[in-house]
A and B are shown apart, each in its own frame.
Chain A
Amino acid sequence: DSGVTQTPKHLITATGQRVTLRCSPRSGDLSVYWYQQSLDQGLQFLIQYYNGEERAKGNILERFSAQQFPDLHSELNLSSLELGDSALYFCASSVGGGGNYGYTFGSGTRLTVV
């Protein structure tokens, strides 16, 4: 157990639908990052939050949004889902913001869009 909790572990949904992925960071970590990993692909950075505020954006589609709540958990909302959105979505956390600290990853949510 890495200390980063992601739910659900698996999600199967139809095209056009909307889903919400949830992440609880490791205790004491203020930053949350969201990554997308497609089959046999690298990690695509989506977005970062630090202590409730958006800190950095990556290749996040307009159909996707995220937020970090006062208790530091984060949610990633994916809407108008397309087949190509099928992927593993990882949440990671770190004690500080940005790239100065190692990231702790959750076990991921596997999203399948059918």
Chain B
Amino acid sequence: GQQVMQIPQYQHVQEGEDFTTYCNSSTTLSNIQWYKQRPGGHPVFLIQLVKSGEVKKQKRLTFQFGEAKKNSSLHITATQTTDVGTYFCAGPRAGNNRKLIWGLGTSLAVNP
């Protein structure tokens, strides 16, 4: 079936280190969305990428959508304790926009 894999599942970093999570889909996606869920919180929409090869930045966060629209990455520069949480990617399969296919998330812990 359609799958979106996220790696790594968990990541521990020291504050100030960089962090990257990768999202790989078995099928071409129409777009890729990223969400952040803080511990005890709810998922919060961060960004949507639509175009092949698109790169977007939000302060220390850099999002990329692959050329084939099957993979994506989220890179955080110089992590802070406020970055702690689980990062999910999700996207609808190209040609079937009715459902988002979700990754299982990458949980980030940041040691101060």
CA distance A51 to B41 in the complex (A): 27
Contact B102 A100, beta carbon cutoff 8 Å? no
Contact B98 A99, beta carbon cutoff 8 Å? yes
With A45-B100, A55-B98 in contact, is A102–B43 under 8 Å at CB?
Answer: no
Contact A105 B42, beta carbon cutoff 8 Å? yes
Chain A interface extent, by class: 20 to 34
Contact A48 B98, beta carbon cutoff 8 Å? yes
Contact flags (1/0) for A96-114 with B, using CB distance below 8 Å? Answer: 0111111111111000000
Which residue on chain B has the smallest CB distance to residue A105? B42
Which residue on chain B has the smallest CB distance to residue A33? B100
Contact A90 B42, beta carbon cutoff 8 Å? yes
Contact A100 B92, beta carbon cutoff 8 Å? yes
Q: Does A70 count as interface, using CB distance less than 8 angstroms?
A: no
Contact A100 B42, beta carbon cutoff 8 Å? no
Summarize B's interface: helix, strand, loop or mixed: strand
Q: Given the complex, which residues of B lie within 8 Å of A58, measured CB to CB?
A: 99
Contact A56 B99, beta carbon cutoff 8 Å? yes
Which residue on chain A has the smallest CB distance to residue B97? A98
Q: Given the complex, which residues of B lie within 8 Å of A106, measured CB to CB?
A: 42
Which of A55, A100, A107 meets B30, CB within 8 Å? A100
Contact flags (1/0) for B53-92 with A, using CB distance below 8 Å? Answer: 0000000000000000000000000000000000010111
A-B interface, 6 closest residue pairs, ranked by CB to CB distance from nearest: A99-B92, A102-B45, A42-B104, A98-B97, A105-B42, A99-B100
Q: Can you spell out 27 A-B residue pairs with CB atoms less than 8 angstroms apart?
A: A42-B88, A42-B102, A42-B103, A42-B104, A43-B43, A43-B88, A45-B100, A45-B102, A48-B98, A55-B98, A90-B42, A98-B98, A98-B100, A99-B30, A99-B31, A99-B90, A99-B97, A99-B100, A100-B92, A102-B33, A103-B35, A103-B100, A104-B45, A105-B44, A105-B45, A106-B42, A108-B42
**A interface residues, Cβ below 8 angstroms from B:** 2, 41-43, 45, 48, 55-56, 58, 90, 92, 97-108
**B interface residues, Cβ below 8 angstroms from A:** 30-31, 33, 35, 41-45, 48, 88, 90-92, 97-100, 102-105
